[in-house]
Amino acid sequence: MAGGGFAPTKDPNKDYPGKLTSKVLLTCFIAATGGLIFGYDLGISGGVTSMDEFLKKFFPAVYKKESSSKPSDDQYCKFDSQILTLFTSSLYVAALVSSLFASAITRKFGRRITMMAGGFLFAAGAILNGAASAVWMLIVGRLLLGFGIGCANQSVPIYLSEVAPYKYRGALNMLFQLSITVGILVANILNYFLAKIEGGWRWSLGLAVVPAVIIIFGSFVLPESPNSLIERGHIEKAKEQLIKLRGVPSVTAEFDDLVVASEQSKTVEHPWLNIFGRRYRPQLVMAFCIPMFQQLTGMNVIVFYAPVLFKTMGFGSSASLMSAMITGAVNFVATIVSIVIVDKVGRRVLFIQGGIQMLLCQIIVAVAIAAKFGVSGNPGELPKWYAFLVVIAICIYVAGFAWSWGPLGWLVPSEIFPLEIRSAAQSINVSVNMIFTFAIAQIFTAMLCHLKFGLFIVFAVCVVIMVTFITMYLPETKGIPIEEMTIVWKNHPRWRKYFDEDDVSKVAC
């Protein structure tokens, strides 16, 4: 099927044997808990920054502005503080930096060591934040949390894609995103209840040590991926591990391909230089564009600042935390839906369908806010039907993200890179993700203040662009063994020009 170049094409002579064994399931479940630390932080930040006690202690100017505002004031600007947003966004700069260093650790010492390092760094940050008595302690704690997240996000998706049988790679890799949603949901629930007790913000921040401990102990018991073992010269151990994971007595075909891929990767002395070569151009574009667009959906605005956003729109403090908890639950359930269907319907269908769903919801939310708040930001009396409409629209939007751009933003980049550049490319993927996460977290409240309801129109335009990009440039990758992934690029009408003609002619169209 050369015409569109979008259907998955696999060598018909290659059909790696293997079952969905209990060992591989348990291994992937444990590894995926690395997403808990990222999710917990995403969920906890917005809730804590909407707690009056926290604002009064560390950001008194914001608290005074927020607590003294009247219904007639401009509600769009009540939380506009660059220092307050720095508390949230500083973490993502640290995650960006650590993901770059994590690339070398992942390649030289294996995926497990990088996960373990991430857990220890995150635990240190959680303890410092929970004990914070000054803003600098909060910021340093956030930086440590960021270092931990950078390590986990760099190593866990790669590990899952390497360990999973190719027929189930989509579903098993998405366990990482499921863990992120679990972390978000748990954080929202804790924020709702802890906001009612004195010093509740300390518990919210300090309890981040729990998911950190989970990933630390998990990384101790996990086996190393066969790809990583081969990459570091442990050939026989890699074969034994692959047999255990696949649950069959012979894995010759898959193992031989892994060895060949490893030998080829050793000819690449400088992955960070080679990744910019012509033959890796398609994957490099995806490593940059997919995480960028994932953030430009506007989803993290909802996750970071859902309580702040709802509070700004006139919901009470408890009601805003309840609304955030509801969106967290929707996020979790919709991710499970994605796990069930991703290896059946494919990546492209979910990307496109989820994007259209998010687009429609963003338009609805923009119209609803514009109709009630206008340009002045003075909503007057907010009826219950209005609050219900906004929450429902946001929940549908969250569901669209959770079964498309959320998990696929981690799955697709982790499965498309050849072994020789995989660690470096995943670092680029995480770094771009964190750059845009930082930027949006840092400027959101200012954008809300100045663009008002137009902020959601901006994100809607971004969704139109990213759906168009996926439609034109992303080939389908379901059902393709990870070490044969280059074949989909050679078959794609817009990417095949980056490969030698001899390479293209060898691929059946």
Give the distance between the most distant pair of CA atoms in the chain: 73
Domain ranges of the chain: 22-222+268-504
Mention every residue, 6+ apart, whose C-beta is less than 8 A from residue 376: 74
The CATH architecture one would assign to domain 22-222+268-504 is Up-down Bundle (1.20)
* Amino acid at the residue 260: V
DSSP conformational letter for 197: S
**Model-wide pTM > 0.85:** no
Contacts of 79 (CB under 8 A, 6+ apart): 49, 62, 66, 305, 308, 311, 312, 445, 448
- C-alpha span between 338 and 332 (Å, rounded): 10
Cβ atoms of 95 and 153 closer than 8 Å: yes
- In degrees, to the nearest 5, what angle opens at C-alpha 366 toward C-alphas 363 and 367? 85
Per the structure block, which two tokens stand in for 313? 């729109």
pLDDT tens digits for the chain (509 residues)?
Answer: 333 444 444 454 456 766 788 888 999 999 999 999 988 988 888 778 778 888 888 888 777 766 665 554 545 555 556 666 777 777 888 888 888 888 888 888 888 999 999 999 999 999 999 999 888 898 899 999 999 999 998 899 889 988 888 888 888 888 998 999 899 889 988 988 888 888 888 999 999 999 999 999 999 999 998 888 988 888 999 889 888 888 888 888 888 888 887 787 766 666 677 788 888 888 889 889 999 998 888 887 776 556 656 666 556 666 667 777 888 889 899 999 999 998 888 899 999 999 999 999 888 878 877 776 655 555 555 566 676 777 788 889 999 999 999 889 888 888 888 877 787 888 888 888 888 888 877 776 667 666 666 778 888 999 999 999 999 999 988 888 877 788 888 888 888 888 765 444 444 33
Using alpha carbons, list the distances in angstroms from residue 226 to 24, 358, 377: 12, 38, 57
* Residue labelled with tokens 């996990």: 222
Q: In sequence order, which residues have a C-beta less than 8 Å from that of residue 457 and are 6 or more positions away?
A: 362, 363, 366
